Amino acid sequence: MSAFTVSALTVTAWSTAAIGSASAAPRQQATSGACQVPRQGHYAVMAMGTLVAGSGSTPEARLIEERWLAGGALEGRIVERLGSELRSGTYRGSVQLVGPCLAQVRRQLPWGSQLSEAVLDSRGRPLYSLDRGSGTVITARWLPMASGSCQAADLNGVVLSSQVGLNRRSGAQGWSPNAVIQREQWRDGRVQGLALSSHGGVGDTAAYSGRLQLEPNSCWGDLVERDARGVDYTYRALIVPGRNGARGYLYLQRDANDLSVGWLVRD
């Protein structure tokens, strides 16, 4: 039940002069007229990648719920894993167009500033972003969230996922890769699922069950699952509401030796 997926965020700025330079002209010609300005809206973001420092590297993953507001302001909530460390908080920031179909996103997080750049679709919505921080290799995927409250019952039905992630075995120095596919059946906040996994090249199949407990008036919650061997897994989860019920949910694993973030899609 481990996982991850694409990721984003942190620090390097574009200059307005560079955007207007001859070197940027081909890109402008290829995309001009195709995009609107950054669109106000409500977004869920899943991110994963690597923080590089000196000769070493640390895996990093995030879940974000963010609102783009009038005048280029934004506000959001983040849960982040940096190696075995888990941290969370709320923040404010700004978004501005810095090139054709390209938006710069600045966030002032509780633990520091962060800069990323996002590519926009033809309606001005972000789809993918890349960290612009020195020493980061992190990308993110963005999902629009419909307005309204979330209920655990919004997930009722079948949920599917295909994911990759990282694990650290007891006493090991580094992180090893895993890949997982899952099929889940949800009913009123309770889940029964089957996970097919490969951890460090060793395959496994395991049934599991669990429960999602949502926070009041929120799309965030805590998901606890237990497999058939009695092993527990814990996650922070974010339901992504659509126009006709939940589109699915994002989760970030909280277990210190399992670092994963996943997008689980409702059938």
**125 and 181 in one domain?**
no
* pLDDT given at position 106: 98
104 plus 129 within the same structural domain: yes
Q: pLDDT at position 171, please?
A: 63
165 and 252 in a common domain: yes
- What DSSP string describes the chain? ---------------HHHHTSGGGHHHHHHHTTS--SPPPEEEEEEEEEEEEETTEEEEEEEEEEEEE-GGGEEEEEEEEEETTEEEEEEEEEEEEEEETTEEEEEEEETTEEEEEEEEE-TTS-EEEEEE-STTEEEEEEEEE--SS---GGGG-EEEEEEEEEEE--TT-SS-EEEEEEEEEEEETTEEEEEEEEEETTEEEEEEEEEEEEEPTTSSEEEEEEEETTS-EEEEEEEEEEETTEEEEEEEEE--TTEE-EEEEEE-
In order along its 267 residues, the chain shows pLDDT tens digits of: 544 333 333 323 333 333 333 333 334 434 445 688 899 999 999 999 999 987 789 999 999 999 999 999 999 999 999 999 999 999 999 999 999 999 999 999 999 999 999 999 999 999 999 999 999 999 999 999 999 889 999 999 999 999 889 998 766 678 999 999 999 999 999 999 999 999 888 999 999 999 999 999 999 999 999 999 999 999 999 999 998 889 999 999 999 999 999 999 999
Considering the domain architecture, whether residues 27 and 129 belong to the same structural domain is answered as yes
What token pair was written down for 49?
A: 């990648």
Q: In terms of residue numbers, what domain contains 126?
A: 16-144
The pLDDT value recorded for residue 34 is 64
Residue at a domain's end among 122, 144, 166: 144
Q: What does the alpha-carbon distance between residue 40 and residue 237 come to, in Å, rounded to a whole number?
A: 24
Q: Residue 1 domain-assigned?
A: no
* pLDDT of res. 81: 96
Q: For residue 56, what pLDDT is reported?
A: 84
Residue 64 lies in a domain: yes
- What gap in Å lies between CA 182 and CA 160, rounded to an integer? 6
97 in a structural domain: yes
- How many domains is the chain partitioned into structurally? 2
Please report whether residue 130 resides in a domain.
yes
Instruction: For residue 34, give the CATH number of its domain.
Output: 2.40.128
Same domain, 135 and 170: no
pLDDT of residue 254: 96
Encoded tokens for 22: 């001859």
**Are residues 175 and 82 part of one domain?**
no
The torsion of the CA quartet 266, 234, 143, 130, rounded to 10 degrees, works out to -140
pLDDT value at position 30?
A: 41
Determine the pLDDT at residue 4: 39
- Do 206 and 134 lie in one domain? The reply is no
Q: At 212, give phi and psi (nearest 5°).
A: -105, 125
Q: Say which residue the tokens 């496994």 belong to.
A: 204
Q: What are phi and psi of 198, to 5 degrees?
A: -135, 115
Q: Which of 90, 124, 144 is the last residue of a domain?
A: 144
Residues 45 and 139 in one domain: yes
**Residue 259 domain flag:** yes
pLDDT at position 225, please?
A: 98
Query: What is the reported pLDDT for 244?
Result: 84
On the CB side of 91, CA atoms within 13 Å amount to 22
Chosen domain end from 113, 144, 175: 144
